Structure 1
């Protein structure tokens, strides 16, 4: 895959994450508009996960013009981790606004962290294996 195509893919991914961030911000604003004055920081800042974890890294990859785009499995694990953090934040926000708690809400940050670390680890191992087979 040539460099311009890699930059285009990274740019498209960054734009997708930016649109998801805007959707989360809009969703949180509308949800809290109808929540009768009750608000949740989980709901307010749910947009930050796709913005900081998705838009920023892929925008940097597009601007730096990386030579190798991450492998599909690595990207999927990483994207799943960001989605888990975002969904967990929205679910916790809804629960907090509703005035209840859930014991399973602890699972979201743990699963999100495991998925992101899995994606990073997988990409690191694949790059090391590629270097080893090239030599």
Structure 2
């Protein structure tokens, strides 16, 4: 894959990751308010593991090939790990930590999406 195609794929993975964050927020609200939506929350958790792992892999390969974007690749790896920490904390007794972790995942995922879609150099690379 070319750097441009890696970036395009990373952009798609970043958007999917944000979409799954949204699904997780909605299903978490259903869990807290109405005690339903656990299946959707579980599926969303699996989906965010997959999409954030794909994002981390794509950005890591892109950084290795181009020598740029190492910070974004590192952040994506942290995000991928954070999704598993979230899963481990997803119990009633650790709910307060789970909420804080959700905010961390949201900030990391949003930051990576912004990074992927901004900067003239990344925009130019995506069109080549």
Q: Which has the higher helix share?
A: 2
RCO greater where, 1 or 2, for CA within 8 Å and sep 6 or more?
2
TM-score, with structure 2 as normaliser: 0.44
